[in-house]
Amino acid sequence: MIRALALFYVMVLLVWGNVFAQEDGFGLGVIVGEPTGICGKLWTSGRTAVDGAVAWSFEGESSVHLHADFLYHDF
């Protein structure tokens, strides 16, 4: 029973992000795990966006991870 509830909880968490998906403006989020950090997405038009993140690692040697992407949505 506990295993089924845990699976249900994980599934709800995975789907929950789509409930608040947006197609314009600016969004901010959190990266949980290893590395840990913050992320953001800026819609530049109805089909294009720029996203990026900064994250840091606490394992072994401390390190910082940076990335940015240009996204084209064709849907």
Range of the domain at 73: 23-75
Q: What is the number of domains present in the chain?
A: 1
Q: Which secondary structure element, helix H or strand E, spans residue 52, and what is its range? A: strand 48-57
The answer to whether residue 2 is domain-embedded is no
Q: Could you tell me if residue 3 is inside a domain?
A: no
Cβ atoms 63, 57 nearer than 8 A = yes
**Interval 11-69: pLDDT, tens:** 877 776 665 666 678 989 899 888 999 999 999 998 999 999 999 998 888 899 999 99
pLDDT attached to residue 18? 60
